[in-house]
């Protein structure tokens, strides 16, 4: 049986092929799963997808009519999948519930330090042999306040790094993490966290109740010189409201590894095309904003764990087993 994997990055392909070798044949495609590409999957019982795949009702219906019975998503997030429709069509859906939290937390810190110390601007200047320091002044993190929205595994690792910098820690979540509290974190209401934090980082899943968690009122509650980092899901931030605040000259820096309308853009080369997304086009023009292309998870360690979990999900499906990764069980 051949498995069809959509949206496979060049660095990811050898890891996937090696992991499946001797178990199942797998064909890796660099195209993403959309309504236009879904017919390619005809005849494949198992399809593997990436986080930016379109798994809405029309795509799922096309997959099901072509014989697909299992979706093995290579990510933790699954907000792109219509689970109710998948269940109605008799399709099994599994995701990767866990992979290295260090990958995302460390990258969030890379964004924070890059915007704080103006690393991109400095690098651009020195390439032109401009070695002035004007406009490059940053701030010590030591002694300042880090606000962590979402204190699960990734948020905890971020907090540990912040603790190493000697920062005061504020947290917000539906449940308190004892490990974070041992670091000295104080859990406070979201409004207090936003008002008191010098650095704010988002590590919560995207759900209806967290969509635009950082909306216009939340942005206005933040300090004018705050740093905002999002390496979780783009929909957590109201980007139009963020642009409005940036135009007013607010925030020391904003680091975004995700964007709420990234589907159809991120992971693709659009350098020779006009970008029709006016909000994104405006966002990347601000000198205090750094946008990367959803790469926080992209380490050998994390991708290796994602691939291994995907293999296990496929083997469990074939054997009729169920694990914590299953979102819609085999009917």
8 Å CB contact between 74 and 267: no
Instruction: Determine the angle formed by the axes of helices 101-116 and 119-127, rounding to 10 degrees.
Output: 60
58 secondary structure, DSSP code: H
Residue 320's Cβ-side half-sphere holds a number of Cα atoms within 13 Å equal to: 1
Residue 242 CB contacts under 8 Å (≥ 6 apart), including other chains: 214, 219, 228, 254, 283
Query: Which letter, b or e, does each residue of 235-251 get, where b requires 16 or more Cβ atoms within 10 Å of its Cβ?
Result: bbbbbebbbebbeeebb
Residue 329 contacts residue 322 (beta carbons within 8 Å) = yes
Q: Beta strand 199-202 with 186-187: parallel, antiparallel or unpaired?
A: unpaired
Task: Give the residue numbers marked as catalytic.
Answer: 233, 262, 294
């Amino acid at each position: 049986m051949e498995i069809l994997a959509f949206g496979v990055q060049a660095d990811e392909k050898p890891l996937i092929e090696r992991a499946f070798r001797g178990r199942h044949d797998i064909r890796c495609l660099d195209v993403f799963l959309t309504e236009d590409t879904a017919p390619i999957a005809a005849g494949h019982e198992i399809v593997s997808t990436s986080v930016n795949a379109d798994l809405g009702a029309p795509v799922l219906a096309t997959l099901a009519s072509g014989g697909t019975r299992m979706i093995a998503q290579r990510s933790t997030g699954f907000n792109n999948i219509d689970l109710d429709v998948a269940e109605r069509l008799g399709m099994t859906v599994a995701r990767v519930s866990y992979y290295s939290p260090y990958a995302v937390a460390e990258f969030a810190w890379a964004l924070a330090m890059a915007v704080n110390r103006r690393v991109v601007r400095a690098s651009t200047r020195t390439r032109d042999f401009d070695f002035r320091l004007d406009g490059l002044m940053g701030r010590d993190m030591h002694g300042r306040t880090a606000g962590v929205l979402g204190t699960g595994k990734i948020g905890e690792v971020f907090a540990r790094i912040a603790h190493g910098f000697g920062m005061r820690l504020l947290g917000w979540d539906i449940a308190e993490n004892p490990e974070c509290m041992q670091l000295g974190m104080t859990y406070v209401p979201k409004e207090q966290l936003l008002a008191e934090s010098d650095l704010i980082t988002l590590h919560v899943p995207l759900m209806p109740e967290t969509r635009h968690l950082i909306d216009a009122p939340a942005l206005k509650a933040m300090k004018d010189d705050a740093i905002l980092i999002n390496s979780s899901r783009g929909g957590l931030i109201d980007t139009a409201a963020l642009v409005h605040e940036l135009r007013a000259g607010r925030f020391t820096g904003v680091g975004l590894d995700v964007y709420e309308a990234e589907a159809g853009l991120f992971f693709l080369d659009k350098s020779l095309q006009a970008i029709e997304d006016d909000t994104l086009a405006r966002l990347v023009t601000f000198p205090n904003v750094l946008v990367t292309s959803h790469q926080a998870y992209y380490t050998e360690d994390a991708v290796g764990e994602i691939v291994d979990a995907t293999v296990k999900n496929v083997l469990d499906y074939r054997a009729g087993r169920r694990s914590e990764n299953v979102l819609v069980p085999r009917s």
